[in-house]
Amino acid sequence: MNGSILAVSRRLLAGGLSQLLLSILLFSPFTATNAYEPTWESLDQRPLPQWYADAKIGIFIHWGVFSVPSYGTEWFWYNWQGTKKQEFIDFISKTEKPNFAYADFAHRFDATLYDPKYWAEIFAQSGAQYVVLTSKHHEGFCNWDSRDIGTTWNWNSMDVGPRRDLVGELANAIRDPSVVSPKTNRPVKFGVYHSLYEWFNPMMAYDKSTNLTSHTFVDSKTMPELYQLVEKYQPEIIWSDGDWGVNSNYWRAKEFLAWLATNSSVKDTVVWNDRWGDDAKCKYGSYWTCHDNYQPDHTVEHKWENCMTLDKTSWGWNRKAKYANYMTTKELVDEVVATVARNGNILINVGPAADGTISPIFVDRLLGLGQWLQVNGQAVYGSQPWKVCDQDEYIDVYYTRDNELLYAFLTKWPTDNEVPLMCPVVSENTRAFLLGVKNADKHSVEVVSSTSVGLRSSVEQAAVTIKLPNLNPDEVPCDHVWVIAMTAIRNLDDDAISDMKIS
Ligand SMILES: *[C@@H]1O[C@H](CO)[C@@H](O)[C@H](O)[C@H]1NC(C)=O
Ligand SMILES: *[C@@H]1O[C@H](CO)[C@@H](O)[C@H](O)[C@H]1NC(C)=O
């Protein structure tokens, strides 16, 4: 803003009236190029790019040297040599030669079967609108061609291991014009995860020894990496992590974000999360992640994201995982619905193996979600939250809305096909239908207003009861969660939500 005002006054001094008019045209609110200051207050003024609010669903990928041991969790190195957990010490002594070093894993990170085109297809088919890959996890290994940053020497995917630019290849595959999300018909966006912190980096240890008055690690490693990632790959999501225990001033995070939002090639579309220091978490950022698996029980006005993982025990590939560690498709769909209904996006994690394969169990869950979204995506993408309603002892129902319709997500098929809804107030014009049902006339949804009929006493509180049609198994449009769309809801715009600014 200051930039535009300055520019206008400069033009006013330099030129005549036509110059001034031109300036007003050029710097009107519609064309203004905003200059952000490196303060949270200034960065907070930036509106959330609409694509992110509409997208709802993203894929998270944890892939790195930790995918080689693939034992327990991606925190393998830290468990072994940081907290020195006996189980991990034993694992190394059982499986490796004496004096084995974590760095020895790197050459086995071979990515021989890495097929970014296949990854991109699966992710698009899942219904995800964006993909976030670990460019560097806490182990410090860079998954891109970072060779010209001297401090990543011999610890990046070009120098050792894959000998491939893993980030660049996925970015290109995701952006291929053939990769389009089937339900929204939109291209899938590409983003990067990047850890500020590294467990064992001696430069970080040095900065700690100065009580973080020095910035050796930040200035010679993390920041060069972040600027390079943006300049080389134009990621539209910067998913920062590893900020813990440190203030954003140490990370020089606000300077980077001001540049990102003001001068970078992605300034108009990029979004970033809130993990930039203890002063930022759950407070600043295009969207908040607060903590892993963040899932508030109410609607949070500020845009937020639930990052979660299909292997409930690990983000990286984990050979120890039992079948029951994996979320079922039903659990995944339920989680998506609960998240979107509360104004969140969901970032669904998979952990590929070191050879670049993605376990079919992950693919199965992702494609299951994709099938469900193919039927019900209308109630998800671009929707807004409505309210979180208490259903008493009845099945959980979640809501979203668009400009005309209210969507009720039934997380169980009600016994005797009938379910009370506690919050929507219907009018005589209200019609309801089940998304995806064929032959909607025959299979109509009946809306029974509580004002027009006597209800069983136990459901007196319900504003409305809906009766689902009797369907044969092959007539049911989807599994897991069923969506009733309703027109002419009286309280669609009521105060409870019209007050709520969805940011
Ligand atoms: C860092 O802080 C600690 C505790 O406040 C203090 O004892 C120490 O002298 C400080 N070190 C430096 C290098 O400033
Ligand atoms: C953006 O670029 C301009 C022109 O080079 C420079 O004056 C300004 O300081 C930059 N702003 C940020 C936040 O990087």
CB burial of residue 153 (10 Å; 0-12, 13-18, 19+): exposed
CA of 91 to the centre of ligand 1 (A): 38
Q: Are residues 351 and 416 in the same domain?
A: no
Same domain assignment for residues 164 and 295: yes
pLDDT over threshold 50, residue 227:
yes
What pLDDT is stored for residue 462 in this prediction? 58
- Please report whether residue 181 resides in a domain: yes
409 Cβ neighbours under 8 A, 6+ residues apart: 337, 341, 376, 379, 397, 398, 399, 400, 481, 482, 483
CATH number at residue 346: 3.20.20.80
Determine if ligand 2 sits within 6 Å of the CB of residue 258.
yes
Q: Assess if residue 495 is contained within a domain.
A: no
Q: What is the mean pLDDT of the chain?
A: 91
Same domain, 266 and 320: yes
The tens digit of pLDDT for each residue in 310-350 reads: 999 999 999 999 999 999 999 999 999 999 999 999 999 99
Determine if ligand 2 sits within 6 Å of the CB of residue 262.
yes
Q: Which residues of 3-15 are buried (b: 16+ CB within 10 A; e: fewer)?
A: ebeebbeebeeee
Q: Are residues 369 and 409 in the same domain?
A: no
- Residue predicted with more confidence, 264 or 498: 264
How many Cβ atoms sit within 10 Å of the Cβ of residue 308? 21
Q: In which domain, by residue range, is 297 found?
A: 3-376
Mind listing the pLDDT tens digit for each residue in 150-177?
Answer: 999 999 999 999 999 999 999 999 999 9
353 and 399 in a single domain? The answer is no
In a domain, 31, yes or no: yes
Of 376, 404, 428, the last residue of a domain is: 376
Same domain, 14 and 102: yes
Is the same domain home to 425 and 336? Answer: no
CA 40 – ligand 1 centroid, Å: 28
Q: Which residues share a beta bridge with 350?
A: 61
From 322, 343, 376, give the residue that closes a domain: 376
57 and 161 housed in the same domain: yes
- Do residue 397 and residue 353 come from a single domain? no
Q: Is 210 in the pocket of ligand 1 (CB under 6 A)?
A: yes
Please indicate, yes or no, if residue 502 is contained in any of the structural domains: no
Look at residue 503 and tell me if it is in a domain. no
pLDDT at 106: 98
pLDDT exceeds cutoff 60 at 231: yes
Q: Is residue 208 part of a domain?
A: yes
CATH code (residue 428): 2.60.40.1180
**Strands 271-272 and 432-434: what pairing?**
unpaired
Q: Give the pLDDT of residue 393.
A: 82
* Same domain, yes or no: 370 and 404: no
| Inside any domain, residue 40 | yes
| pLDDT, tens digit, 9 for 90 and up, residues 359-393 | 999 999 999 999 999 999 999 999 999 999 888 88
Ligand 2 nearest atom to the CA of residue 263, by list position: 1
Is 500 among the domain residues?
A: no
Indicate which residue's Cα is closest to atom 7 of ligand 1.
211
Could you say which of 376, 400, 420 is where a domain stops? Answer: 376
Tokens found for residue 130: 């964006």
Residues 396, 252: one domain? Answer: no
Look at residue 405 and give its three-state secondary structure.
coil
The answer to whether residue 30 scores a pLDDT higher than 60 is: no
Same domain, 263 and 401: no
* Dist. CA 229 → ligand 2 center (Å): 18
Please tell me the total count of domains within the chain: 2
DSSP code of residue 156 = B
Instruction: Tell me which residue has tokens 């995070």.
Output: 253
